[in-house]
């Protein structure tokens, strides 16, 4: 047995006698990274430029084989399998080249979180991530000197089913960068634990579920492994006291993020099938007229036309905001995996990507490659009050597109891709994520979701009435008294309807 193996075994032996999982002693601090894996960033639709962190209390630590309680009155307890680093020596203002030498061990961790409390924590994650048992670690330590920090693998299973499988090669921020970055802000002490983020696949677990997490180095000599860190979820029975603080609360956004997708969360399509069928049949002009009756006059996206005549559009809004080009800002926000690419990479089935371009048609807002990506993702269409390049190729993709015109120049001539999934202004109207859009040859109209059912029913009823009036005019009847109908014609129409 080598000296390094003996050291690791000694640490495991100590851990078995301690209440801190695989750790030899209670750590002074636990620091976690918010978002660090490419796969997770792509799933969330945002890619941070730099790592950010939060603290977890050491009272949240637990050993393998333990339980974690889902508090009474909550529903969104999610697991996150992670690589945990245990500091072996003090580190203060060290370089990346020095960083790994200060890491003593690698182990597995489950960074459990309660999304029901996330909205009230405002990013601190104190309550949502700090509960008792919310940080299981172990069951064994791997000597950091024996492994490549860029070739560690983390896997998670729920009830025996593989849920996460990724390696540290997929990190946005390598492990040595995280250690060095933290050391420039605070002193990392021996025994401190760094949770280095979770890959895609994290999801909700319920009472009775068993979560297992393993970290290993399959390419290293001996393929060292932490073994499986096992945690069983139990149901809590003590409710939160509403006289002491804010209570758990959830919405569809939190459910989507906790489960990983709307489909996994059981939310289904954003527009129910029956409503979708009605919207497909309703002309934009009829919907616009009904919205006007409700006092909503600025709900049309002006100045846009379908790229392919005769195209229909129905879907919910996913938004992208472009700001006027400024060269220094484009250098920071325009290159790499920017907001534009993230939006096209994460548009969901049935969503319409709405691009705010301020009516600027002096460059394109997207071209054929991104149109192909949106089509492959199942997008319902794209609406932009800017330009489109590769117009013929975009039209050939078959994706419904409304734009203010065509232009051969790339986005950077006039725009900086800034942010997505925010309220935007497009064609003179305001669109929020989740708004319903309907388009035809007359243009595109925006329906507030809460009004959609009533508006489309009224629009279709008006269409039936208008069709009957047209038949009467075609039969030779004068328009006066018929359009709009007076009492006599109204009675005839109602009698016709009753007889159908």
pLDDT > 50? residue 4? no
What is the SS3 assignment for 488? helix
Model pLDDT, residue 266: 65
pLDDT of residue 242: 82
Whether 117 contacts 202, CB under 8 Å: no
pLDDT higher than 50, residue 5: no
CB within 8 A of 455, min separation 6: which ones? 287, 290, 291, 294, 447
Q: Which residues contact 284 (CB under 8 A, 6 or more apart)?
A: 300, 438, 439, 440, 442, 443, 444, 445
Angle at 135 between CA 159 and CA 115, to 5 degrees: 75
- pTM here is 0.59
pLDDT band at 3 (very low <50, low <70, confident <90, very high): very low
pLDDT at 32 > cutoff 80: yes
Q: Band the pLDDT of 189: cuts 50, 70, 90.
A: very high
Give per-residue pLDDT as tens, 243-292.
888 888 888 778 888 888 766 776 655 788 899 999 999 999 999 999 99
pLDDT digits (tens, 9 = 90+) for 360-400: 999 999 999 999 999 998 899 999 999 999 999 999 999 99
Decide if pLDDT at 17 tops 60.
no
Omega of the bond leading into 139 within 30 degrees of 0 (cis): yes
How many Å separate Cα 160 from the centre of its chain? 26
Is residue 327 exposed (0-12), middle (13-18) or buried (19+ Cβ within 10 Å)? exposed
Question: Which pLDDT value is given to residue 269?
Answer: 58
**CATH superfamily of this structure's domain 3-259:** Fumarylacetoacetase-like, C-terminal domain (3.90.850.10)
Q: Where are the domains of the chain?
A: 3-259, 273-453, 454-499
DSSP 219: T
CA 301, 329, 257: angle at the middle one, nearest 5?
60
Given this model, what pLDDT does residue 7 score?
42
Lowest mean pLDDT among 123-127, 149-153, 418-422, 454-458: 123-127
Among the ranges given (17-26, 171-180, 477-486), the one the predictor scored with the smallest mean pLDDT: 17-26
- For 106-156, the pLDDT digits (tens) are 999 999 999 999 877 767 889 999 999 999 999 999 999 999 999 999 999
Mean pLDDT, residues 36-60: 88
11-25, 350-364, 369-383, 430-444: segment of lowest average pLDDT:
11-25
* Percent of the chain whose pLDDT exceeds 90: 73
DSSP state of 279: H
List CB contacts of 432: < 8 A, sequence separation 6 or more: 317, 319, 423
Looking at the predicted structure, is the pLDDT value of residue 350 above 80? yes
Confidence at residue 268, expressed as pLDDT on a 0 to 100 scale: 56
Alpha helices in 306-451 (DSSP H): 327-333, 339-346, 368-376, 391-397
Task: Work out the mean pLDDT of the chain and round it to a whole number.
Answer: 90
- The domain made up of 273-453 has a fold known as Glucose Oxidase; domain 1 (3.50.30)
């Amino acid at each position: 047995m080598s000296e390094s193996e003996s050291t690791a075994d000694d640490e495991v032996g100590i851990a078995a006698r301690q209440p801190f999982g695989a750790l030899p002693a209670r750590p002074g601090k636990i620091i976690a990274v918010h978002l660090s894996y490419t796969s997770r960033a792509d799933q969330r639709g945002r890619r941070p430029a730099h790592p950010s962190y939060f603290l977890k209390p050491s009272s949240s630590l637990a050993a393998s084989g333990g339980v974690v309680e889902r508090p009474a009155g909550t529903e969104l307890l999610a697991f996150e399998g992670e690589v945990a680093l245990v500091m072996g020596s003090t580190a203060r203002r060290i370089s990346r080249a020095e960083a790994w030498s200060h890491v003593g061990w690698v182990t597995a961790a489950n960074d459990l979180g309660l999304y029901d409390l996330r909205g009230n924590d405002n990013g601190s994650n104190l309550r949502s991530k700090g509960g008792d048992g919310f940080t299981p670690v172990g069951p064994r330590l791997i000597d950091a000197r024996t492994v490549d920090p860029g070739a560690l693998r983390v896997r998670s299973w729920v009830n025996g089913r593989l849920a996460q499988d990724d390696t540290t090669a997929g990190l946005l921020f390598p492990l040595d960068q995280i250690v060095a970055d933290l050391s420039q802000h605070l002193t990392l002490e021996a025994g401190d634990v760094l949770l280095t983020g979770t890959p895609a696949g994290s999801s909700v677990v319920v009472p009775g579920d068993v979560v297992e997490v393993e970290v290993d180095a399959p390419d290293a000599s001996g393929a060292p492994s932490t073994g499986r860190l096992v945690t069983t979820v139990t149901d809590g029975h003590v409710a939160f006291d509403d006289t002491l603080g804010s209570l758990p609360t959830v919405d569809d956004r939190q459910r989507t993020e906790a489960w990983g997708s709307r489909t996994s969360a059981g939310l289904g399509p954003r527009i129910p099938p029956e409503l979708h069928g009605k919207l497909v049949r309703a002309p934009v002009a009829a919907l616009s007229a009904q919205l006007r009756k409700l006092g909503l006059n600025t709900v049309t996206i002006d100045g846009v036309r379908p790229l392919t005549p005769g195209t229909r559009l129905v879907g919910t809004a996913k938004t992208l905001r472009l700001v006027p080009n400024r060269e220094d800002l484009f250098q920071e926000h325009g290159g790499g995996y920017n907001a534009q690419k993230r939006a096209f990479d994460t548009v969901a089935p049935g969503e319409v990507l709405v691009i705010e371009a301020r009516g600027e048609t002096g460059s394109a807002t997207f071209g054929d490659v991104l149109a192909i990506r949106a089509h492959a993702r199942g997008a319902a269409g794209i609406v932009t009050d800017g330009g489109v390049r590769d117009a013929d190729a975009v039209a050939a993709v078959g994706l419904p597109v409304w734009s203010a015109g065509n232009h051969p120049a790339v986005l950077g001539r006039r725009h900086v891709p800034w942010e997505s999934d925010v309220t935007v202004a497009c064609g003179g109207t305001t669109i929020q994520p989740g708004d319903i859009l309907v388009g035809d040859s007359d243009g595109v109209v925006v329906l507030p979701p809460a009004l959609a059912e009533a508006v489309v029913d009224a629009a279709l009823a008006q269409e039936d009435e208008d069709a009957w009036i047209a038949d009467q005019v075609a039969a030779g009847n004068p328009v006066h008294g018929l359009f709009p109908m007076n009492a006599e014609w109204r009675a005839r129409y109602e009698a016709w309807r009753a007889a159908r």
